[in-house]
A and B are shown apart, each in its own frame.
Chain A
């Protein structure tokens, strides 16, 4: 475990600027456009005359190359925010720029092209196609791209080797362990070489040792330049990220809990968050 770095500090300003602290050193590679630029994002679900406000006035910037952990209690809107970031859902209000482009009101074709080329998704319950081999699962995003078959196959095989499944390419998901399945899902998310990798509790169903090896993979991927936003309940997992954002009742919590840096130490600044996290772990 290499994270967190000593300078993974965060400032509690109104516009949460998730700019990596070591940005200055990488300035040569980075542009001045944030990868994600969300302003005053709100989300309201309407169900049978009942309105549920899930996100309130979320403003957030994420710079290329960052690795963000999104934590918070259950129901605080983490998944909802992640889905909006990945264009799987649309915000009810506010503006969203992805790679400098306004994506708040894209039509289906354009949004799916973005999902195919710019974002990669990893889910808590893997979501592998049960009847397809590991290799075919990894190849799935390629179906909707214009990349030639041969190149897709080469990439998929290489990715499977990279996640340590070079000898399991033709296994079906039910012949793989949970950790192996999540590796396949991770390789699948990377097939289209996305700029942004979104993960919703990727280690939620895995034991500690397996989680750790998956998180190491995430860190390697991040070191390769891919921006990662990861939803998690676990402080240890969050500690692997460079930066941590805490959500509460659909808002980004302004306080920065210290346990980001030292998860094993008791929380000083923010008792509530810690209690929530402990509760969630007990539940989940």
Chain B
């Protein structure tokens, strides 16, 4: 078959698609659902990777968070408060690479009020060092804690962007007083918005005070800490970090007197752990949506195959006529296969649109973050072509195989 004939047959295929538009619409719909699922899956994978990178960047590649208690095996040893001030001192002494060791105390769901407004903030956080450098999280307006604030347990606080919004609306919170557990605190800064949450906890809904203030004013244990963050030199490589993590674990186990073979009573979190975790989450999203995509795509393909198969019988006169006028079986085969592939490609475009819209909806509910890229586009179209070919072959072969005479007599 020459290119000229191929192009002419392409025109024929495109005309038939338009002429049998009800059939075409059905097929496009069936295919588009599968492609939509595929689009969501690919886009959310890309979105998840991007989110993971963001998260990791915020966490910082050269820091390790130590969380008190063993979250993984909490059931057996539920003593969440296992980190002590002694641990903080010893880490500072024994880990030469550690540039900064910041203790942290956490209290969940605390009542805050200012003026007439009340708000239950997700967390009250006491920090043992300047907020910006130790957490990589700086105030957007106002100032950070000073050494004096920390040393003299001053009644000052930094608030999260969501907390500021809840208590002050659009007004400027700087210099205003907030009352937490009957303790008045002066707002000295508002933290930049993170846009992160973990479980029910919104990172941007928090009141942060010097850890000394927290211990003295809020009647919390003087001995135990919720978390300790250890920050190493900026130049540390992932290999260094793995080694630091190993050393830190050994140190803490010996400080806590944990026997060989017994479980840790703390949890170390590095950037790598976060990325690994996101990968696991991503993996389960992929499996779930992937199954959905495969099922819908197969359904779409079978729908197309069946509608097409029936159409071949309906269109037997057209087939017989074309053969009588000189169309070879190959020409008929090519026409029907082209129709199938064109419809599948239309389905792909429709599916991409549906997928993008659905993805936008999901990300507006914060369920998934979606990122549409040319790769997604290309994959969806290739996938659709594959479906079109795979499921169009049988009907096309049937059409091509019709004997011209019986086709003209309307038999099959």
Contact = CB atoms under 8 A, between A and B. Distances in A.
Interface of A: 83, 86, 88-89, 108-109, 112-113, 115-117, 121, 123, 127, 129-132, 136, 140-146, 188, 192
Interface residues of B, number: 28
A192 B326 contact: yes
A109 B328 contact: yes
A144 B318 contact: no
B47 interface: no
A127 B326 contact: no
A218 B327 CA distance: 25
Given A109-B328, A112-B326, A192-B326, 7 more contacts: A88-B324, A89-B405, A115-B323, A143-B322, A143-B327, A144-B322, A146-B5
A103 B20 CA distance: 36
B4 interface: yes
B354 to A, nearest CB: 29
B403 interface: yes
A146 B331 CA distance: 13
B317 A89 contact: no
B4 to A, nearest CB: 7
A75 to B, nearest CB: 14
A188 B325 contact: yes
B78 interface: no
Contacts of B324: 86, 88, 115, 121
30 contacts: A83-B405, A88-B323, A88-B405, A88-B408, A89-B405, A108-B329, A109-B330, A112-B328, A112-B329, A115-B324, A121-B324, A127-B408, A130-B19, A131-B15, A140-B321, A140-B325, A141-B325, A141-B326, A142-B8, A143-B5, A143-B8, A143-B9, A143-B12, A143-B327, A143-B331, A144-B327, A144-B328, A146-B5, A188-B325, A192-B326
B18 interface: yes
Nearest to A185: B321
B404 interface: yes
B327 A132 contact: no
A192 B326 CA distance: 10
Contact of A116 (B317, B326, B405): B326
B2 interface: yes
Contacts of A108: 328-330
A123 B405 CA distance: 12
Interface string B343-381: 000000000000000000000000000000000000000
Contacts of A86: 324
B325 A115 contact: yes
A135 B37 CA distance: 43
A127 B321 CA distance: 7
Interface string B253-297: 000000000000000000000000000000000000000000000
B404 A89 contact: yes
A115 B326 contact: yes
Looking at chain B's contact residues, the main secondary structure is: helix
A116 B325 contact: yes
A89 B407 CA distance: 11
Contacts of B318: 129
Nearest to A111: B328
Contacts of B18: 131
A136 to B, nearest CB: 8
A112 B333 CA distance: 14
Nearest to A198: B324
Interface string B17-39: 01100000000000000000000
A59 to B, nearest CB: 22
A52 to B, nearest CB: 14
Nearest to B328: A112
A86 B403 CA distance: 13
A136 B322 CA distance: 13
Contacts of A112: 323, 326-329, 331
A145 B8 CA distance: 10
Contacts of A130: 19
Nearest to B322: A140
B107 to A, nearest CB: 74
Contacts of B403: 89
A90 B170 CA distance: 88
Contact of A144 (B325, B404, B408): B325
A107 to B, nearest CB: 9
A144 B326 CA distance: 6
B317 A146 contact: no
A131 B19 contact: yes
A144 to B, nearest CB: 4
A146 B19 CA distance: 26
Contacts of A192: 326
Contacts of B12: 143
Contacts of A83: 404-405
B406 to A, nearest CB: 9
A109 B329 CA distance: 7
Q: For A129, A131, A143, which residue has the most chain B Cβ atoms within 10 angstroms? A: A143
Contacts of A121: 324-325
Contacts of B330: 108-109
Contacts of A116: 325-327
A117 B325 CA distance: 9
Contacts of A127: 317, 321, 408
Nearest to A129: B318
Contacts of A123: 408
